[in-house]
Amino acid sequence: MDIINIYTEEVEALEAKFESVSDDSLTRENLKEETHEVLARLKKDQDTEAYFDLNDDFEELIFRLISIIGQL
C-alpha cells in the first residue's frame, strides 16, 4: 500500500468522525488536534523529495484536512 492510500484512509476516517462528531467542545477539540497531527505528518512527507511526483495527491488530501479544521 503506498503512502497516498494510507493517508487517504486516515483522511476518510477523520471525515467520518467529523460527520458524527457531537457538539461537545472537548470532542470537537480532540478531533481538531487529531486532524492537525495528520496534516503535519502529511506536509512533512509532501516536502520529501522522494514523493515529489505525488504533490497533486498530497494537495487534495491537505485541502480535505483543512476543510475539516475550518468547520470545527
With 0.85 as the threshold, say if the pTM is over it: yes
- Please tell me the distance from the alpha carbon of residue 47 to that of residue 6, in angstroms, as a whole number: 17
pLDDT at residue 29, rounded to an integer:
95
- Please tell me the distance from the alpha carbon of residue 6 to that of residue 2, in angstroms, as a whole number: 7
pLDDT in tens, 22-69: 888 899 999 999 999 999 999 999 999 989 899 999 999 999 999 999
What Cα–Cα distance (Å) separates residue 66 from each residue in 1, 2, 6, 35, 50?
24, 22, 18, 8, 24
Which cell numbers hold the place of 3? 503512502
pLDDT at residue 1, rounded to an integer:
56
pLDDT at residue 41, rounded to an integer:
97
pLDDT at residue 23, rounded to an integer:
87
Residue type, 2: D
